A and B are shown apart, each in its own frame.
Chain A
């Protein structure tokens, strides 16, 4: 039993009569950046919600940092960024961060640090509603970083970002993992996969691969993750 990261066993989630996740099992460990890849609608967000503890689950178990997902004691220890930025549009960047900092009970100095991490220091007094989509999602990411979480769950955090910034953010994810956190990043863009230490490939609510990217390429005899995904889908049929 690991105490870092999380462990999903036989997880099934039924939503509106359809099985969104089907008997899914996987383990994500601390110290690694794990990529969760798959086409949109395959259940990535639902899996992430289950890990964070905001998803009602039908069967199976999810243990996070050694405790059942959704436990009150985990609320200090997880950072979660949803696909659509969950921040207040009518507050400024710094007001958003200061508010969430007081809810988390972390010192104000974290606000400046996190703004630097997501490269938004120059926009600190801008009203969030007037920022671009990419900037808004960075505000949302900064909020998730405030509490120095042991598990960071990021649902498509790099969509629509400038390539330079994207590179920097992946650097940040790796730095956080190196410092001992478990980082789970979802994406529907296969080209981001090579940046991960490990990959979980999903399709139709099931896991079709769980390997380091290079091992995945070697196993499927392909040159890129997109082709590997296709090879796995063919094999799966």
Chain B
């Protein structure tokens, strides 16, 4: 593992991203726009519609976006031959993965800071717990999305296929994460499935932070981190120096 190589990878990924202005704009503006849309939908209605849904959405967006961005970028790296070239150089797989995680971690932090900022300052989202914890959950979520995206990119031959993995892996998690039916009121089997999915814990954590003054989210955060680490290890296994 070499800090020089990790930083070089992270810088390179960010430079590539910077050159793609449209993607940067989408990454930063879209989450804020979606939060605003959600707020607007509930403006004339009684009850806590926005406040109830916003924390879950703040958990979902970075996860989905980073999943897509990573699966397409790493697939490109696999198909363009640059990954093979890098692995034939003195580069550890860990250097490659950490470099990507660092770059996307930076992007996710900026993205989530904007979305959380817009929601709390302009859209009057009440956060009882510390706002920075929302950010921590969001960034972990984004890293989880990145790790899963990296893993699935090994099973896609084209960018078209990579994008198809999004509904397959992400939509069931959205359905079962407690957004539509509270997790403890799901049919028993689905409840167990929900307990095995990482997004459930991300949504739980976001909700605790917004609802409680002193939220205890360490368990949730540890689980999300464990899922992300497991996906990264699986992703590392798919980076082969030798191929058929």
Contact = CB atoms under 8 A, between A and B. Distances in A.
Given A75-B89, A99-B12, A54 B242 contact: yes
A54 to B, nearest CB: 6
B92 to A, nearest CB: 9
B243 A82 contact: no
Interface of B: 4-5, 7-9, 11-12, 15-16, 19-20, 80-82, 84-91, 241-244
Contacts of B5: 102-103
A9 interface: no
Given A90-B20, A127-B19, A54 B90 contact: no
B65 to A, nearest CB: 19
A84 B242 contact: no
A143 B85 contact: yes
A88 B84 contact: no
23 contacts: A54-B242, A72-B90, A75-B89, A75-B91, A80-B88, A82-B81, A82-B85, A85-B81, A86-B81, A86-B84, A86-B85, A87-B82, A88-B80, A90-B16, A90-B19, A91-B16, A91-B19, A99-B12, A102-B5, A103-B90, A105-B4, A105-B90, A147-B89
Interface string A104-132: 11000000000000000000000100000
Given A90-B16, A95-B15, A54 B87 contact: yes
A99 B96 CA distance: 13
Given A88-B16, A102-B4, A102-B8, A52 B86 contact: no
Task: Enumerate the 3 nearest inter-chain pairs by beta-carbon distance, A residue then B residue, closest first.
Answer: A86-B81, A102-B8, A86-B85
A74 B155 CA distance: 29
A70 interface: yes
Interface of A: 15-16, 52-56, 70, 72, 75-76, 78, 80, 82, 84-91, 95, 99-100, 102-105, 127, 143, 147
A75 B93 CA distance: 13
A104 B84 contact: no
B8 A55 contact: no
Nearest to B83: A86
A175 B74 CA distance: 37
A91 B84 CA distance: 18
Contacts of A82: 81, 84-85
A52 B243 CA distance: 12
A54 B12 contact: no
A91 B90 CA distance: 21
A75 B90 contact: yes
Nearest to A13: B244
